[in-house]
Amino acid sequence: MFQTLYSYFWWERLWLPANLTWADLEDRDGRVYAKASDLYITLPLAFLFLIVRHLFETYVATPLAGLLNVKERIRLKASPNPVLEKFYAATSKHPKQAEVELLSRQSGCSVRQVERWFRRRRNQDRPSLLKKFREASWRFTFYLLAFLAGMAVIVDKPWFYDLREVWKGYPIQSMLPSQYWYYMIELSFYWSLLFSIASDVKRKDFKEQIIHHVATIILISFSWFANYIRAGTLIMALHDSSDYLLESAKMFNYAGWRGTCNNIFIVFAAVFIVTRLLILPFWIMHCTVVYPLDLYPAFFGYYFFNAMMLVLQALHIFWAFLIIRMAHKFITGKVVEDERSDREETDNSEEEEEAAKNGPLANGHPHPALNNNHRKTD
């Protein structure tokens, strides 16, 4: 049964145009072609990325956070309460009013005290500013280096300037060593993002992030199997061109450099819109949808690849909506909150009560501690 499934999976008509077989892509006469077995190395490389990331965040990002004076908001801790903790862990982190009143009777606390306990408990579970800064630093470093590497791989190639060259001689197109390593590194990195997504900062677009990572892994893998390498390198470099700007804006945002963050974000928004909403659909997708039909009839792989491209494009439109909304707030000078992250919950009456009891200092710190509710790009 396994052998039958294996045969169906690697059926040439799924991956290659008509009249071509895997035998046509066997290495010969000094020409080397992409092979599915090449991608096995990406899984151990993904775990190596996780190790390198841990070392980077510990020995590079953390000291950098100190130099940039990344400060945490002072969070008041919820007092131990078994009744409320059990409800929080097993039922809901956001109890309804009727549930709050029931918990008030069960715990012996007032309704206001129960509401305050849940606010503080939710804030305790939110990731620290240092964790966010470290993650952004790691992704910034990778995306910047990947973009520079990608440009080095494609800038001297004829298909970078003439997209019809992407399909010249397809699929009998020899693989270059630079293309091999670019693919392996990019795919390994996205595997590492997928492996770590459960422990990374969880944002409101968590499901969209998973879809993005899975679609990206499928696209990169399929483009390798079907020898869509020229198109693949263009698409990867295009995506990396704006990602490092977003991560750098996050870093400055966490450091409290609001003006620098806003300026970088505006540049990021412009680059994102140009690359993801103009160049990708009207140049790259036009190249992958229209030009191949001049050379061979459409086949399953052709439809599959472009369907995955549409999934990514839909995600780009979703994120572009959020980005444009935030950029508009920057330009109009409005206070901007992170569109993708949960905000820190506060209660002005509670703060006033604490201040009345303790004066301008609460818990040994100035009470109006650094507020990062202005986060724009998290």
Please write the tens of the pLDDT for every residue from 33-46: 888 889 999 999 99
Distance from C-alpha of 216 to C-alpha of 199, rounded to nearest angstrom: 20
Q: Is the dihedral of CA 211, 216, 219, 220 positive or negative?
A: negative
Please say if the pLDDT value at position 246 is more than 60. Answer: yes
Q: Which residues contact 65 (CB under 8 A, 6 or more apart)?
A: 130, 133, 134, 137, 254, 255
Which of 154, 144, 214 lies closest to 183, judged by CA? 154
Q: Quote the pLDDT of residue 366.
A: 35
Please say if the pLDDT value at position 117 is more than 50. Answer: yes
3-state secondary structure of 373: coil
Model pTM score: 0.79
For the chain, what percent of residues have pLDDT higher than 90? 43
Residue bearing the bigger pLDDT, 27 or 49: 49
List the chain domain ranges: 33-68+128-332, 82-125
Question: pLDDT class for 356, splitting at 50, 70, 90?
Answer: very low
Q: How far is CA 267 from the centre of its chain?
A: 18
Buried b (16+ CB within 10 A) or exposed e, 156-177: ebebbeebeebbeebbebebee
Question: pLDDT class for 343, splitting at 50, 70, 90?
Answer: low
Distance from C-alpha of 296 to C-alpha of 289, rounded to nearest angstrom: 12
Residue bearing the bigger pLDDT, 333 or 179: 179
Which of 272, 267, 375, 271 lies closest to 317, judged by CA? 272
Please say if the pLDDT value at position 370 is more than 70. Answer: no
For the chain, what percent of residues have pLDDT higher than 70? 87
Buried b (16+ CB within 10 A) or exposed e, 215-228: bbbebbbbbbbbbb
Q: Residue 89 has which token pair? A: 């862990």
Q: Residue 156 has which token pair? A: 């001297």
Q: pLDDT for 175-207, tens place per residue? A: 999 999 999 999 999 999 999 988 888 777 788
Q: pLDDT for 64-104, tens place per residue? A: 999 998 877 777 788 888 888 888 888 888 888 888 888 88
Q: How much is the average pLDDT of 294-312?
A: 90
Distance from C-alpha of 222 to C-alpha of 15, rounded to nearest angstrom: 8
Q: Quote the pLDDT of residue 348.
A: 44
Task: Report DSSP state, residue 284.
Answer: I
Q: Quote the pLDDT of residue 17.
A: 83
Please say if the pLDDT value at position 351 is more than 70. Answer: no
Residue bearing the bigger pLDDT, 3 or 252: 252
Q: How many CB atoms lie within 10 A of CB 371?
A: 12
Residue bearing the bigger pLDDT, 145 or 117: 145
Please say if the pLDDT value at position 374 is more than 70. Answer: no
Topology classification of domain 82-125: Arc Repressor Mutant, subunit A (1.10.10)
Question: pLDDT class for 248, splitting at 50, 70, 90?
Answer: very high
**Quick one: 43 exposed, middle or buried, by C-beta within 10 A (0-12, 13-18, 19+)?**
middle
Question: pLDDT class for 307, splitting at 50, 70, 90?
Answer: very high
Average pLDDT over the chain reads 83
Q: How many CB atoms lie within 10 A of CB 185?
A: 19
- Considering only the C-alpha atoms of the chain, give the largest distance between any 2 of them, rounded to a whole number of Å: 84
